[in-house]
C-alpha cells in the first residue's frame, strides 16, 4: 500500500541531478505529497523556473512513486518561489561535506536578495571566514565561486536566495 510516509522516504533517496550529494527532499524542492488510493500527487518548486533539470527531477520523482506501486502526478508549483531557507539541516551538512559552502540563512526582516558579504561564508574545507568572491557566476545560477585565503582552496558557494 502506498502511503505518504513511504513516498517521502522514496523521494528522500532521489538525488538532485546537478548536485547528487543532496536529495530533492534535502534541497527543499518537494513541497507536498498527497496520496489518494494509488494516486500520488507531488508538488515541487524548482530552484529556478528556467532550471534545465526540471524534467529530469519530474521523471525521477515519478519513477520513485511507480516503484512503490503508485500512479504519479508530479506538478510544478509556480506561484511560490524556492528559497535557500528550504534546504534542510541534513542537506546543508551534506553540501558542506562534499565541498560546497551552504547558503547562510536569511535573517528575519532582511530583503530576499542574494547576499554576497564575505563574512557570511565559511570555507567548507578549513572553516575559515577569510574568503572572498572570485566569480559571481558559478556552474549554475544558484552558485558562485569563492576562494579561501586561509587554505587557498576555491569552492562553490550557494547564493542565499
**Which CATH number, 3.90.1150.10, 3.30.300.130, 3.40.50.720, 3.40.640.10, labels domain 4-76?**
3.30.300.130
Residues carrying CATH 3.30.300.130, the chain: 4-76
d(CA 12, CA 105): 22
**Reported confidence tier of residue 101, pLDDT bands at 50, 70, 90:** confident
Instruction: Summarize pLDDT for 40-70 with one digit per residue, the tens.
Output: 999 999 888 778 888 999 999 999 999 999 9
Name the β-bridge partners of 39: 36, 71
Q: What is the pLDDT of residue 112?
A: 47
d(CA 104, CA 89): 12
For 13-22, 124-133, 135-144, which range has the lowest pLDDT when averaged over its residues? 135-144
Amino acid at each position: 500500500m502506498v502511503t505518504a510516509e513511504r513516498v517521502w522516504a522514496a523521494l528522500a533517496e532521489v538525488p538532485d541531478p546537478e548536485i547528487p550529494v543532496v536529495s530533492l527532499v534535502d534541497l527543499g524542492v518537494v513541497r507536498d505529497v498527497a496520496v489518494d488510493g494509488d494516486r500520488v500527487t507531488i508538488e515541487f518548486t524548482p530552484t529556478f523556473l528556467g532550471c534545465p533539470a526540471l524534467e529530469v527531477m519530474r521523471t525521477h520523482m515519478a519513477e520513485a512513486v511507480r516503484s512503490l506501486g503508485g500512479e504519479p502526478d508530479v506538478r510544478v508549483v509556480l506561484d511560490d518561489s524556492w528559497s535557500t531557507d528550504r534546504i534542510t539541516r541534513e542537506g546543508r551538512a551534506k553540501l558542506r561535506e562534499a565541498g560546497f559552502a551552504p547558503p547562510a540563512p536569511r535573517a528575519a526582516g532582511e530583503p530576499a536578495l542574494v547576499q554576497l558579504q564575505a563574512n557570511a561564508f565559511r570555507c567548507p574545507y578549513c572553516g575559515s571566514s577569510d574568503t572572498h568572491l572570485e566569480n559571481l557566476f558559478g556552474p549554475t545560477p544558484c552558485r558562485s565561486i569563492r576562494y579561501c585565503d586561509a587554505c587557498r582552496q576555491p569552492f562553490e558557494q550557494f547564493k542565499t536566495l
